[in-house]
């Protein structure tokens, strides 16, 4: 059916500011939309860089954030058109080297001595969630580093500098260089990814948002390791 | 000339210094998936980013020359505290973390910025997220290298050449273009090389001020950064391509330009 | 123009060329170039003043002919390169026209620098010790060339030098500068005949004494007396040529009315003759033959008597 | 000396160049929440990061001096193509996007790296995540500035001073420490200043190679980046503090060191 | 040691000091310093060779006394600073001991450079044109100092100069270098009496002709003949002193057997006398009085006759 619902006609060209971790599914979505006449241009960067750019007057039609806090910042600044909608969830997983050589099976193992663990900094969403998950599990770890981005955690494990870390499932799926160790739901934290069209966005913005929320969009996101809504 | 034999200690320290540069490079080369390199080169994203990188870095170097040489000239003839202050100001973009540099550029030239808001209201011009913004960010970060090199050149220039030219009846511009600039060529050239190299590698200020739009503001370092998130091998290959291009240009130009004088 | 180090010779030339700030008035052929009071300052590039530095200062990045053509181009003359080449050919430097300045020897470079200045046909030619950076062996040759070029030059020529030979050979008129002011000026012969400062006396190679005249003698500082033919009265300079000073091992009895005692300070060969510097109440330099030196056994520290005829002492007012 | 009047065009271009540096700075200063500045300064996170930044950048400058001066000496006496290649290699860390530089350092000195793996197997030493790693990353990125400046100084050095010293009976080390180094002081100093400034602002390579841990590897630029995430005003204040500290040091030292010779 | 520009004088000094690569053998007081064949090379710092450059090369970053003490410290002598100060005091430079080198005048700096070399008591003292960078006015003074210092120095002294006065005043023995090889060597008087190259002749200020002797005359290239008292036979040099050359407006009839025609090329003042350079089949320089110049109306381009007595021509084998 028509992915964008009612009132969706003609050629559009839109600009999307999206968190860098969304690049694989969003690039696929853009390819699909182009066939339908809508061209999306992306500005992928860290959520906080995007937020800084938008508050400084950057022109964009859609903003897809990796957390609700930054979206809230933009809402407070009066830049968001309508209400943001959560379009995907992401769960945490323990990331380990391929084949799990250190035999890590749960959060409790992260407290082992001699194990180099890397987390994201509590001031970035992934770090905050990891902290919450460890609290729920009642585990205290001594991380070697508090990375500024999830990808920092990922690449340190991929390069063998760290033995384990906590990242999003989608990161592990995208990477393909590492293995994931699941975290039980009672200890896990679910991250919400909100999307919104922005003030002064044109009609094409709705088409993009609607496609992301459509079944086709959700399928693409799931293939990339995200959980649908 | 017969020099004293260099003691082993000096050689060892120099070798250590060189290793600090060479080992990481070797690491990159060893780990790079060379089989993918050609595929990477054929990828239009790569070629676009490479083209944009070269365009932006050269344009930024051009602006740095246009603005930096006059600035260096003014600096070289200023005296006392004012000079120290101006010089320190010129060194600032080096100390500023690049991302903060990008934020500062937004605060000045963004649509809501000090000057940018005026531009936007008066002409509807918006600088950020354009190729111009990428060039500006690179100029901001890289120009100090040029200014410092040219100022040093000016300070060691023998001003009697300029005086001789004046007494032969040459006015300011003739002296400047026929005498000062040619005599400064080695300093200008080495400053421009440093400036260009820095502009080519610029990342933090560019992504913040200009964003990451393929074909418009996505330079190689930004493409590398994104690729690091999703496919690290490609990032390494891309960096190596950048390196090869820049080393080729550096080696090729150095002799041509520095050898002549 | 002559003067000791730091007298301000270079500073004056630069001020005349418009390259240094100055106070005062400069008029050339009726045209006011500088007048601090009226606030006139013609910039260097419009003064038509050719400047030749001590060490050529040829532009290192362009060829010899382009160096000479530089001023012509600045003056927008037609065919500057051809004209420059003609100047070089005339000076016998045509072979080097396309060479770069660093390929020239010091003497050639200085000659090109002179041509570069002359080619613009300046109204004022300023030369700051143009020969002093050259080796003794090529200096004579370049000096000849300079004499020839300056001879056919019609504007005002101002040459700074340290070398008395050079000054005598090239100058119509000497200006002696000391501590920033002119101390003596005139034709070379006049100036050297009546030096008014130690510097000029040294250049002329004569002994200069200063004292107070009393009819037939001059009393110096420190009680020494110098007998002179017609001393006049008042403050005077007395000049004695080294050749007029005779040396003796013992006190001579004879006609010379001036006889002083002293001690040899140094003995220097000077051409075919020997200059003996004697310290004492009346310090003098004597010029004697080599034979005399050997005969008297003169060496640093020897006691000697000096005799000078009163008629050999020339006295003029200070 | 009386110079030709500088034409307005030169002044205008210089002013534009200066504005490119000044406006972003002004933007930062205008937007900084000055009321919070003192609170920020009292915050132990800030003071720790500032202390670590100063320590790491000075240590990195020290290592750059130790390894870079010998390297520059070897470069200055090498001739021909080898020299161009070595020189281009020295310029590489400038062209390499810093994050890639960090990756390259990991590939060389990390636990699985070319050299790092040997260290780890033999002694159980792991360089990444330590203060040493931060110093190393800063040295890697900043040393080229020192090497280039010192090499230029060596090339313009009058070697007769060294020859005079040798003929007076001074051996290599005496000539080096009593004649060469003192005569090179201006070049070494200006190179060290550039090197230090670059090390102070270093971010990408440090975070990649050394990670981020308060008190161990969290330098000011990294703290600034983190603060941008949660409290942008604090980030701006922190950057300004970094700027003020470095400008104060730059202005303070320049005269003392460059003025004397 | 004398020689034209580029003859290799500096190169030789530097090789002796151990600063340049060379091929050959250097032995000083029985100690082999260099021997390419046996692969001996004593490094510069162990040669005890004091080197004085053309322009002092004092270390700019340390005081005058520290400059002089530098070599003493390198030799680990006790109390280097006190010893250096003594050297300076003796040379009358004690007042400047604590000054920085750039505060010295050129002459003072060169004297300090000499002291710096002497203070280390070298076995070999190498001086490369030590006076040529100095102004004419202070050169004489520094030359006196140099004579004094070299007189009391006991090692081997090797002085390079361009200046004949300097060479005569300072040297026990002259070595003339041209195109990298020694062309003449001997006591100053011998060398100047019998110059074997244009360079030496110029230095000695005499006319040098080269030709083939036939009993009582010498035939030059280009058919000109020079009558000489006892010419001998084979290839020879003929020397004529400028003072022995008489000039005439018309062809003179008289005793001189050598009479040539020529054209005046240049007229230069030289001390109190005038040197006239004449072009022609036998190009000569004549030294005449000023009065003679005016009387004959000599100027560039004038036709003249030159006469030289056969007894004034000295001839020796080439
Ligand atoms: N009339 C003057 N008024 C002001 N300053 C002067 C004057 N004359 C000379 N000076 C100062 O004296 C110093 C030396 O002057 P200058 O270099 O012109 O000397 P010089 O005669 O050319 O010496 P040298 O023979 O060494 O070339 C300069 O710093 C100059 O400023
Ligand atoms: N015997 C030699 N063997 C090889 N090269 C030589 C020799 N003598 C001179 N040269 C070369 O000639 C050049 C000029 O030599 P040098 O500088 O020693 O001349 P100089 O006599 O000191 O000249 P100046 O009078 O200009 O000081 C140098 O490049 C040197 O390498
Ligand atoms: Mg002067
Ligand atoms: Mg020489």
- Structural domain spans, chain B: 36-260
Same domain? For E268 and E165 the reply is no
- Considering only the beta carbons, identify the residue of B1, B171, B224 that sits closest to D100: B224
Tell me which fold the domain D36-260 belongs to. MetI-like fold (1.10.3720)
Q: Is the pLDDT of residue D254 over 70?
A: no
Q: Write out the H or E segment, with its range, that includes residue D243.
A: helix D232-258
**Mean pLDDT confidence for E177-184:** 83
Evaluate whether residue C263 is within a structural domain.
yes
| Domain termination site, one of E198, E220, E239 | E198
Q: Please tell me whether residue C219 adopts helix, strand or coil conformation.
A: strand
C155 Cβ inside 6 Å of ligand 1: no
> CA-nearest residue of chain C to E276?
C144
DSSP classification of residue E8: S
Q: Please tell me whether residue C77 adopts helix, strand or coil conformation.
A: coil
Residues of C in contact with E143 (CB under 8 A): 268
Measured N-to-C along each axis, helices D98-109 and D116-123 cross at an angle, to the nearest 10 degrees, of 40
CA dist C80 and C66 (Å) reads: 9
pLDDT of residue C35: 84
The total domain count for chain C is 2
Same domain? For E38 and E183 the reply is yes
H helices, E strands: number in chain D: 13, 0
The predicted model scores a pTM of: 0.81
Residues of B in contact with C47 (CB under 8 A): 167
Q: What residues does C266 pair with on adjacent strands? A: C277
The CA distances from residue A161 to A146, A148, A165, D218, E299, in Å, are 14, 16, 11, 18, 93
Full 3-state SS string of B65-108: HHHHHHHHHHHHHCCHHHHHHHHHHHHHHHHCCHHHHHHHHHHH
Same domain? For E76 and E119 the reply is yes
| Closest C-alpha to ligand 2, atom 14 | E6
Name the residue with tokens 């080229």. D144
Do E135 and C132 make contact, defined as CB atoms within 8 angstroms? yes
Each residue's pLDDT, cut to its tens digit, for chain C (318 residues) gives 777 777 788 888 888 888 887 777 888 877 888 888 888 888 888 888 888 988 889 999 999 999 999 999 999 999 999 999 999 998 889 999 999 998 888 888 988 999 999 999 898 899 988 887 776 667 777 887 888 888 788 888 888 887 776 777 778 888 888 887 888 888 877 888 888 888 788 777 788 888 888 888 888 877 788 888 777 788 888 888 888 888 888 888 777 788 888 888 877 766 567 788 888 888 888 888 777 877 888 877 888 888 888 888 888 887
CB atoms near residue D251 (< 10 Å): 14
Same domain? For E92 and E128 the reply is yes
Torsion angle of alpha carbons C63, C68, C73, C74, nearest 10°?
110
Evaluate whether residue C220 is within a structural domain.
yes
> Confidence band (pLDDT; 50, 70, 90) for A2?
very low
Task: Name every residue in A having a CB less than 8 A away from some CB of D.
Answer: 48-49, 52, 116, 118, 121, 123-124, 143-148, 152, 155-156, 159-161
Domain containing E246 equals: 207-317
Residue C299 sits at φ, ψ, to 5 deg, of: -155, 170
Q: How far is residue D35 CA from its own chain's centroid?
A: 31
Same domain? For E91 and E173 the reply is yes
CATH number of the domain bearing residue C170: 3.40.50.300
| Domain termination site, one of C164, C198, C232 | C198
Evaluate whether residue E94 is within a structural domain.
yes
Same domain? For C224 and C299 the reply is yes
CA dist E75 and D170 (Å) reads: 8
C242 Cβ inside 6 Å of ligand 1: no
Percent of all residues in chain D with a pLDDT value above 70, rounded to a whole number: 95
Residue D111 sits at φ, ψ, to 5 deg, of: -65, -25
User: Which structure tokens are listed for A152?
Assistant: 């920092």
Length of chain A: 229
Task: Return the closest-CA partner of residue D98 out of D209, D221, D242, D13.
Answer: D209
User: Which structure tokens are listed for B254?
Assistant: 């150095």
Q: For the segment A63-106, what is each residue's pLDDT rounded down to a tens digit?
A: 999 889 889 999 999 999 989 999 999 999 999 999 999 999 99
Q: Please tell me whether residue C279 adopts helix, strand or coil conformation.
A: strand
C3 Cβ inside 6 Å of ligand 1: yes
Evaluate whether residue E244 is within a structural domain.
yes
Evaluate whether residue E3 is within a structural domain.
no
Residue C268 sits at φ, ψ, to 5 deg, of: -125, 135
Measured N-to-C along each axis, helices D232-258 and B98-109 cross at an angle, to the nearest 10 degrees, of 110
Residues of E in contact with D164 (CB under 8 A): 51, 53, 57, 59
Same domain? For C83 and C172 the reply is yes
Evaluate whether residue E4 is within a structural domain.
no
Enumerate residues lining ligand 2, CB below 6 A.
E 3, 5-11, 180
**From the CA atom positions of chain E, what is the Rg in Å?**
25
Q: Is A58 left (phi over 0), alpha (psi -120 to 50) or beta?
A: beta
| Domain termination site, one of E180, E198, E216 | E198
How remote is the CA of residue E95 from the centroid of ligand 3, in Å? Answer: 26
CATH number of the domain bearing residue C235: 2.40.50.100
Residues of B in contact with E18 (CB under 8 A): 2
Do C19 and D1 make contact, defined as CB atoms within 8 angstroms? yes
Residues of C in contact with B163 (CB under 8 A): 14, 17, 19, 44, 51
The CA distances from residue B30 to B23, B34, B237, C31, D97, in Å, are 10, 9, 11, 77, 18
> Confidence band (pLDDT; 50, 70, 90) for D252?
low
* C153, C163 Cβ separation under 8 angstroms: no
Q: Is the pLDDT of residue D4 over 80?
A: no
CA dist C95 and C117 (Å) reads: 20
C1 Cβ inside 6 Å of ligand 1: no
Pocket test for ligand 2, best of E3, E4, E10 (most atoms within 8 A of CB): E10
Full 3-state SS string of chain B: CCCCCCCHHHHHHHHHHHHHHHHHHHHHHHHCCHHHHHHHHHCHHHHHHHHHHHHHHHHHHHHHHHHHHHHHHHHHHCCHHHHHHHHHHHHHHHHCCHHHHHHHHHHHHCCCCCCHHHHHHHHCCCCCCCHHHHHHHHHHHHHHHHHHHHHHHHHCCCCHHHHHHHHCCCCHHHHHHHHHHHHHHHHHHHHHHHHHHHHHHCCHHHHHHHCCCCCCCCCHHHHHHHHHHHCHHHHHHHHHHHHHHHHHHHHHHHHHHHCCC
Evaluate whether residue E2 is within a structural domain.
no
Same domain? For C217 and C257 the reply is yes
Same domain? For C164 and C242 the reply is no
Task: Return the closest-CA partner of residue C165 out of E136, E292, E139.
Answer: E136
Helical spans, DSSP H, in chain C = 9-17, 64-74, 80-90, 106-119, 136-151, 164-170, 188-193, 198-204, 290-296
Length of chain E: 318
Name the residue with tokens 């050898």. B259
Same domain? For C220 and C179 the reply is no
Please report all neighbours of C, defined by 3+ CB atom pairs within 8 A: B, D, E
Same domain? For E184 and E305 the reply is no
User: Which structure tokens are listed for E114?
Assistant: 């000499």
Q: For the segment C19-51, what is each residue's pLDDT rounded down to a tens digit?
A: 887 777 888 877 888 888 888 888 888 888 888
Q: Write out the H or E segment, with its range, that includes residue C42.
A: none
**Mean pLDDT confidence for E220-245:** 83
* E253, E291 Cβ separation under 8 angstroms: no
CA dist D11 and C78 (Å) reads: 33
Percent of all residues in chain E with a pLDDT value above 70, rounded to a whole number: 97
Does ipTM top 0.85?
no
How remote is the CA of residue E53 from the centroid of ligand 2, in Å? Answer: 15
> Confidence band (pLDDT; 50, 70, 90) for E137?
low
User: Which structure tokens are listed for E229?
Assistant: 């008292």
pLDDT of residue C61: 92
Same domain? For C231 and C190 the reply is no
Evaluate whether residue E1 is within a structural domain.
no
E18 close to B (CB below 8 A) = yes
* C276, C286 Cβ separation under 8 angstroms: yes
The CA distances from residue A173 to A23, A47, A229, C170, in Å, are 13, 20, 19, 93
């Amino acid at each position: 059916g028509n992915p964008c619902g009612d009132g969706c006609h003609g050629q559009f060209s839109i600009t999307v500011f999206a968190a860098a971790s969304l690049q694989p599914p969003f690039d696929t979505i853009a390819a699909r939309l182009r066939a339908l006449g809508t061209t999306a241009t992306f500005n992928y960067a860290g959520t906080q860089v995007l937020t800084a750019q938008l508050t400084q007057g950057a022109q964009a039609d859609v903003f897809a954030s990796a957390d609700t806090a930054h979206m809230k910042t933009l809402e407070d600044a009066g830049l968001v058109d309508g209400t943001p909608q959560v379009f995907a969830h992401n769960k945490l997983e323990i990331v380990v080297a391929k084949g799990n050589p250190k035999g890590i099976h749960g959060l409790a193992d992260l407290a082992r001595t001699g194990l180099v663990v890397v987390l994201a900094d509590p001031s970035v969403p992934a770090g905050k969630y990891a902290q919450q998950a460890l609290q729920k599990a009642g585990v205290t770890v001594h991380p070697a580093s508090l990375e500024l981005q999830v990808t920092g955690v990922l690449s340190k494990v991929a390069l063998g500098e760290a033995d384990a870390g906590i990242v999003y499932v989608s990161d592990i799926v995208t990477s393909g260089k590492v293995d994931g160790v699941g975290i039980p739901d009672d200890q896990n934290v679910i991250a919400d990814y909100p999307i919104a069209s922005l003030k002064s966005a044109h009609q094409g913005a709705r088409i993009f948002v609607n496609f992301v929320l459509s079944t086709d969009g959700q399928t693409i996101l799931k293939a990339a390791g995200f959980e649908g809504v | 000339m017969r020099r004293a034999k260099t003691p082993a200690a000096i050689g060892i320290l120099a070798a250590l210094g060189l290793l600090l540069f060479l080992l990481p490079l070797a690491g990159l080369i060893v780990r790079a998936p060379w089989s993918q390199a050609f595929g990477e080169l054929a990828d239009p994203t790569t070629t676009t980013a490479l083209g944009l990188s070269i365009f932006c870095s050269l344009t930024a170097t051009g602006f740095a020359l246009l603005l930096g040489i006059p600035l260096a000239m003014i600096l070289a003839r200023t005296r006392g505290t004012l000079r120290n202050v101006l010089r320190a100001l010129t060194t600032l973009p080096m100390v500023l973390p690049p991302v903060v540099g990008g934020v500062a550029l937004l605060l000045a030239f963004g649509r809501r910025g000090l000057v940018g808001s005026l531009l936007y209201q008066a002409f509807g011009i918006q600088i950020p997220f354009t190729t111009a913004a990428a060039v500006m960010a690179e100029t901001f970060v890289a120009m100090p290298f040029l200014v410092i090199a040219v100022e040093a050149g000016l300070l060691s220039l023998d001003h009697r050449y300029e005086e001789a030219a004046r007494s032969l009846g040459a006015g300011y511009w003739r002296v400047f273009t026929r005498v000062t600039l040619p005599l400064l060529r080695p300093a200008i050239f080495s400053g421009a090389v440093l400036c260009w190299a820095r502009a080519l590698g610029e990342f933090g200020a560019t992504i913040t001020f200009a964003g990451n739009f393929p074909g418009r503001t996505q330079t190689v370092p930004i493409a590398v950064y994104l690729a690091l998130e999703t496919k690290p091998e490609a990032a390494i290959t891309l960096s190596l391509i950048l390196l090869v291009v820049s080393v080729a240009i550096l080696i090729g130009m150095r002799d041509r330009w520095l050898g002549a004088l | 123009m002559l003067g000791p180090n730091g007298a301000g010779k270079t500073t004056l030339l630069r001020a005349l060329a418009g390259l240094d700030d100055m106070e005062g008035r400069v008029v050339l052929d009726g045209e006011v170039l500088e007048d601090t009071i009226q606030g006139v300052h013609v910039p260097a590039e419009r003064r038509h003043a050719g400047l030749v530095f001590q060490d050529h200062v040829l532009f290192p990045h362009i060829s010899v002919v382009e160096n000479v053509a530089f001023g012509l181009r600045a003056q927008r003359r037609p065919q500057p390169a051809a004209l420059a080449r003609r100047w070089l050919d005339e000076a016998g430097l045509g072979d080097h026209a396309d060479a770069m300045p660093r390929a020239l020897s010091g003497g050639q470079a200085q000659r090109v620098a002179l041509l570069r200045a002359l080619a613009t046909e300046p109204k004022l030619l300023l030369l700051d010790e143009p020969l002093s950076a050259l080796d003794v062996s090529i200096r004579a040759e370049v000096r000849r060339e300079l004499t020839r070029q300056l001879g056919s030059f019609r504007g005002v020529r101002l040459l700074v030098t340290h070398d008395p030979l050079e000054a005598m050979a090239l100058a119509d008129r000497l200006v002696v500068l000391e501590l920033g002011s002119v101390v003596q000026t005139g034709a070379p012969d006049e100036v050297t005949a009546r030096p008014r400062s130690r510097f000029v006396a040294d250049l002329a190679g004569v002994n200069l004494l200063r004292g107070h005249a009393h009819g037939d003698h001059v009393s110096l500082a420190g009680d020494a007396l110098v007998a002179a033919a017609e001393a006049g009265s008042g403050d005077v300079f007395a000049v004695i040529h080294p050749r007029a000073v005779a040396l003796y091992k013992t006190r001579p009895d004879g006609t010379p009315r001036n006889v002083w005692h002293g001690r040899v300070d140094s003995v220097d060969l000077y051409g075919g003759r020997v200059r003996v510097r004697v310290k004492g109440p009346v310090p003098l330099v004597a010029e004697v033959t080599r034979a005399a030196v050997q005969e008297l056994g003169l060496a640093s520290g020897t006691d000697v008597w000096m005799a000078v005829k009163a008629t050999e002492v020339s006295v003029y007012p200070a």
